Structure 1
Amino acid sequence: MDISMILCQTSRMLIPDGFPGQRMLVLPRPRAREFLQQEGSLRLVVTDCGYFPKAQSHGRRRIAPIPQAVVLACVDGAGWCETEAGRFDVERGQVVILPPGMPHSYGSDEDNPWTLWWFHVAGPEVAAFLRVADITAATPVRHPRDLYPIVSLMAEVLAWMERDSTTTSLLAASGAAWHALTLLAAERSQPGQREDVIASAVDYLRAHMADRISVPDLAAMASLSASHFSALFRKQMGYPVLQYQTMLRMGRALELLDTTGSTVSAIAAEVGYPDALYFTRQFKKTHGITPREYRDQHKG
Structure 2
Amino acid sequence: MDEVLAHVAIQMLESRVSNLTPAYWRREGDNRPYARIYYIKRGCGFIRSFGRTYRLVPGRVYLVPPRGDFAYGCSKNMQIWWMHFTATLFGVVDLFDYLPYDGERAPDDLPGLERRMKRLLEAAKDGRPAAQLEGAGLLLQLIAPFFRTPEAPLTARQEGIRRFLPVLRHIDENLGRRISVTDLARIASYETSHFSTLFTRTFGLPPWRYVLRKRIERAQLALQRSDAKLEPLAESLGFQDAFHLSKTFKKATGLSPREYRKIKREGAP
Q: What TM-score do you get using the length of structure 1 for normalisation?
A: 0.41
Q: What TM-score do you get using the length of structure 2 for normalisation?
A: 0.46
